[in-house]
A and B are shown apart, each in its own frame.
Chain A
Amino acid sequence: MSEPDPALLNRAAACYQRLGVLSEAARCYREAGSHRRAAELHERIGRFRDAALDHTRADNHELAAWLLAHGVGDPAGARAQLAAAPATSPSRSALRRRLVLARCDAAEGTSPRAALATLAAVCAELARPRTVPDPQLESWAVAVAESLGRPDQVALIFAAAVRGGRLGAEDRWRAWMRETLHAELVLPAPAAQIAR
Chain B
Amino acid sequence: MPRRSRRRGVADPSPSTPPRPPAGSVEEIGVPKPEPAPTAEPPPVLTVAGEFRTASAALVFAGGLADLGNAECGHCAATGAWWVATSMTLAIARELIAAAGGRIHVEVDGRLVPDRGWGDGPPTGPPPQDPPEIVGVDVLEVVRTAGLHPHALPIGEHVTVLAPARRVTALAQRALDLELTIHTRLLRLDPLFADDDADPPSMFELRLASPSGPLPAALLAALDRDVCVLVCRRVSDHLLVQHDVASPLPDGQLAALAAREAGAGAWLLADVGFGSARLTPLTDLRDGAAFVRLSDRHRLPELDDGWARIARSTSEPEPAPLRLVRARTPDAVVEAVLLDDDDLACLPALLAGRPLADLAMLATGRDRHLMLAPGGVLERLPVGEPLYRLGPGPLFLPLGTRTQPLLPPTARRALFPTTSDTALVLQPDRIEAFPLAHREPVWALWAGPLPPVDLQLPREGRRALAEVDAQTTPARTAKPRSTVARLGDRLAERVRGPAPDRPRTWQNEALAAELADDLVRAAELCERNGELRRAAHLYERAAHQPTHPPTAR
Contact = CB atoms under 8 A, between A and B. Distances in A.
B375 to A, nearest CB: 10
Given A5-B543, A8-B543, A18 B552 contact: no
B380 interface: no
Interface in A109-166: none
Contacts of A12: 523, 535-537, 539-540, 543
B18 to A, nearest CB: 47
Nearest to B524: A11
A85 interface: no
B544 interface: yes
Nearest to B553: A7
Interface in A1-26: 1-2, 4-13, 15-16, 18-19, 21, 24
A39 B238 CA distance: 69
Contacts of B550: 5, 7
A141 B537 CA distance: 42
Nearest to A18: B532
Contacts of A11: 523, 527, 536, 539
Contact of A19 (B532, B539, B543, B548): B532
B551 A15 contact: no
Contact of B543 (A9, A16, A21): A9
B64 to A, nearest CB: 49
A13 to B, nearest CB: 8
A9 B539 contact: yes
A28 interface: yes
A18 to B, nearest CB: 6
Nearest to B546: A2
B551 A7 contact: yes
Contacts of B551: 5, 7-8
Contacts of B537: 12
Interface residues of B, number: 19
Contacts of A2: 546
A8 B520 contact: yes
B145 to A, nearest CB: 66
A1 B539 contact: no
Contacts of A10: 553
Interface string B528-545: 000011011101101110
Contacts of B535: 12, 15
A4 B536 contact: no
A18 B542 CA distance: 19
B280 to A, nearest CB: 65
A5 B542 contact: yes
Nearest to B538: A12
Contacts of B536: 11-13, 15-16, 19, 21, 24, 28
A30 to B, nearest CB: 13
A7 B552 CA distance: 7
Nearest to A4: B543
5 contacts: A5-B543, A9-B540, A10-B553, A12-B540, A28-B540
Interface of B: 520, 523, 527, 532-533, 535-537, 539-540, 542-544, 546, 548, 550-553
Given A5-B550, A9-B539, A12-B536, 4 more contacts: A8-B520, A8-B551, A15-B539, A28-B540
Interface of A: 1-2, 4-13, 15-16, 18-19, 21, 24, 28, 32
Q: Which 9 A-B pairs have the closest CB atoms?
A: A12-B539, A15-B536, A8-B543, A7-B551, A4-B543, A5-B543, A12-B536, A19-B532, A15-B532
